Amino acid sequence: MRTRSARAVTADARGPVPRPGPAHRHRLLRLLALPVLSLLFLAGMLPSPAPAAAASKYGDARLDQWSWLTTHNSYAYVGALPPRNQSRSVVEQLDDGVRGLMFDTYDKVQGDPVPMKGVTLCHSIVCYNLFEVEFGRVVDFLKKNPQEVVTIFLENYASQETLTKAIAEVLEEKNATDLLFQPSEQGFNIDKSNWPRVRNMVARNERLVIFQDKWADDIPVTSRSNADVEYGRLMYTWKRTVETTYDYDGNRPSGCLSRNNNKLDLAKMPGTNLTPLFTINQFDSSVLNPESKSHGDNGQSLKNRVEKDCRDVAKREPNYVAVNFHQHSDTPGVTPLSVIDGLNRNAVIIDPHQALWTVSPSKQYVSTIATNRCMVRGDEFEDGQGGLVTQRNCANPAPSSHQWSATPPTGYDGKGFRWIKAGNGSCLTVPYNNGTPPGNDTQLFWWPCETRWFSGSQLWNVIPAKQQGGPAAFYFVNQWTGKCLTLDIPTSAAKAGKVTQAACPKL
C-alpha cells in the first residue's frame, strides 16, 4: 500500500503503460429449395468446419446493432456500358473491408448478346458474370476469414428453383453448408427473439446472411403458393429490413426518405419482436457517370447524412451504408469505411459489469451491476493527506463527497488521459506499491493531484460503452496498471464498501 506521505513515481520514470484493447453442427439445406433436396441431403453428409471462436470486435452487439460498409451493384466493376458502379472486384472489395454486397440476379436477360448458362449478374441489358462465380468468391473469403460476416442483398429476377439450386450447389461444392444464416432453427426464431449476437453467429459459423426481394411470406398459409413463401434461409427483404430511397435527380443524397413507404424508425417489424435492419442508400441510380459523382457522395456528404439526417429520422445508426466506388471521397480522412468504423467504435454492447459505470447528472459515478451504489470520497487519512475511495448508497441530492469529474490534467501534453477528480479537487489514485504496479482488487484512494510530475497512477483513459437496454456508460482504464476502476461486489451491501482496480471487461 502506498504510504500517505510518499509522492507517486512519475509516468516518465516508469514509462507509460499502453491501454489494453477492449478486450455446428452438421445440417441439411433441405429448406432451401424442394427441387434440390437430393443435393442438400448430400450436403448434410459432408463434414462441417469447426465453429470459429467468437469475435471480440463485435462485443455483445446483435446483428441490428452493428454497421457494415456495403457496395451497390457490387459485381458491376468491368466494362463501360452501362456505367460501372465499382472499379474493384468483389474479392478486392471484401479485402478492403466491404461486408455488404448488392447483386442483381437473373435467369437470363433479353437482348444479351452472349447469354450465360446459369444465374447471371446483370445490370440493364448487360450481364457481367455468373452469380455462382462471384458467390463462390464470397464463400471462399468467409472460409479464409473465420471472424467475418457478409450480407448479400439480392434484387432477384431469377426463378425460385434456379436461384436456390445455384446457392446450394456452391455451398456443397465448397463444403460450406453451415455458413448460411437461418432465421429459425431448433426453437429459435428471430421474429420472436430478435437478431442474434454477432459473436454467436461467428461461433456457430453462420456468417453468410442472404436477403431476396421476390418471395413474400406475409400471406396466410391457407392461400400461399410456392412463390409466396419465404424460401428456407433466403430471407424476404421487406419482412426484415427498411431502407432509404436512392434517386436524387443528380443532387447529393440528403435527407432520409424511406423507400416503399416503410417507416425507418420502426422499433419492431409488425407482428414480430424483430428490429428491422436499416440500410442507407448513398448513391443516385439515375446519373450517367456514377464514378465521377461518387467522390462527393462518399465524403463529408455521407458523414453529414448519417449523423445529421438519418440518425434523427431513424432514431438509430444504419446497419448498412451502400455506396458506389467505395474507395472514393472528396474529403481527406473521411471515407465510407471510416464512417462505418466510427459508427462501430462506440457500438460495443456489454452487459452490466462491476467495471462499468454510468455518470448521473449530479456527477455521481453509479455502478451498473449494483445500481444504487455510487463511488464516494471516504474519510481522510489521519495525517490529512488523502483518503480511501469507497462505495455507498447513492444520495439525492448528491453531496460533494459523491461527485467526480473526468478532466484533462493541467498542462499535460498526453494521449487523452484524464484525471478523475473528486469534489474537493483531489485525484483518484492507484496505490504506489513501492513502484510495482499492484494487481487486482487493490483498493483505490483519493490524493492531491500531481501537478509537477504527472503520475500514471492518477491518469485514466475514459472509454465509452453501450449497455444492452441501459443508458450510456463508461469504463476507466488506469494508465499505469491497465486495470479498470471497479466496484467490489462482496462489499456492495456494506455501509462503506470498497472501490478497487481489477481486470477490464472483455469486449
Strand 100-106 to 150-156 pairing? parallel
What sections of 205-310 are H helices per DSSP?
237-240, 290-297, 300-304
Task: Say what the alpha-carbon torsion angle 326, 331, 333, 339 is, to the nearest 10 degrees.
Answer: -50
**In terms of C-beta density within 10 A (0-12 exposed, 13-18 middle, 19 or more buried), how is residue 377 classed?**
buried
Cα radius of gyration rounded to whole Å, the chain: 27
C-alpha grid cell, residue 284: 443516385
Longest dimension (CA), the chain: 92
User: Is the sign of the CA dihedral 176, 179, 180, 185 positive or negative?
Assistant: positive
Banded pLDDT at 25 (limits 50, 70, 90): very low
Q: What CATH number labels 352-502?
A: 2.80.10.50
Rounded to an integer, the average pLDDT of 207-232 is 59
Residue 111 has pLDDT above 70, yes or no: no
Cβ-proximal residues to 336 (8 Å cutoff; 6+ apart), any chain: 69, 282, 298, 302, 321, 323, 326, 329
SS3 304: helix
pLDDT on residue 255: 87
- 177: nearest Cα among 90, 47, 63: 47
Rounded to an integer, the average pLDDT of 472-500 is 93
More confident site: 4 or 211: 211
Which residues make up the CATH 3.20.20.190 domain(s) of the chain? 34-346
pLDDT on residue 36: 36
Residue 286 has pLDDT above 90, yes or no: no
**In terms of C-beta density within 10 A (0-12 exposed, 13-18 middle, 19 or more buried), how is residue 299 classed?**
buried
Count Cβ atoms below 10 Å from residue 200 Cβ, excluding itself. Answer: 14
**Could you give the CA distance from residue 294 to residue 287 in angstroms, rounded to a whole number?**
10
SS3 458: helix
**Could you give the CA distance from residue 334 to residue 332 in angstroms, rounded to a whole number?**
6
Q: Which H/E stretch holds residue 498? A: strand 497-502
Q: Which H/E stretch holds residue 286? A: none
Q: Which H/E stretch holds residue 189? A: strand 188-189
Strand 404-407 to 387-393 pairing? unpaired
- Find the range with the poorest average confidence among 27-36, 135-144, 145-154, 316-325: 27-36
Banded pLDDT at 247 (limits 50, 70, 90): confident
CA distances in angstroms from 418 to 18, 165, 362, 457, 478, listed in the order given: 15, 58, 19, 11, 10
Is there a contact between 171 and 32 (Cβ–Cβ < 8 Å)? Answer: no
Residue-wise pLDDT tens digits, 288-306: 888 989 999 999 999 999 9
Strand 277-282 to 241-243 pairing? parallel
Which residues make up the CATH 2.80.10.50 domain(s) of the chain? 352-502
Residue-wise pLDDT tens digits, 84-100: 999 999 999 999 999 99
Cβ-proximal residues to 3 (8 Å cutoff; 6+ apart), any chain: 432
Banded pLDDT at 468 (limits 50, 70, 90): low
What's the one-letter identity of residue 396? N
C-alpha grid cell, residue 260: 416503399
C-alpha grid cell, residue 348: 460495443
Dihedral-angle region of residue 25 (phi above 0 means left; psi in -120 to 50 means alpha; beta otherwise): left
- 118: nearest Cα among 74, 71, 180, 169: 169
- 169: nearest Cα among 142, 143, 131: 131
Residue 41 has pLDDT above 50, yes or no: no
CATH superfamily of the domain spanning 34-346 = Phosphatidylinositol (PI) phosphodiesterase (3.20.20.190)
**Could you give the CA distance from residue 426 to residue 387 in angstroms, rounded to a whole number?**
10
Is there a contact between 343 and 67 (Cβ–Cβ < 8 Å)? Answer: yes
Residue 309 has pLDDT above 60, yes or no: yes
Please tell me the number of Cα atoms within 13 Å of 197 on its side-chain side: 18
pLDDT on residue 14: 30
Count Cβ atoms below 10 Å from residue 474 Cβ, excluding itself. Answer: 18
pLDDT on residue 463: 83
Residue keyed to cell 444492452 = 468
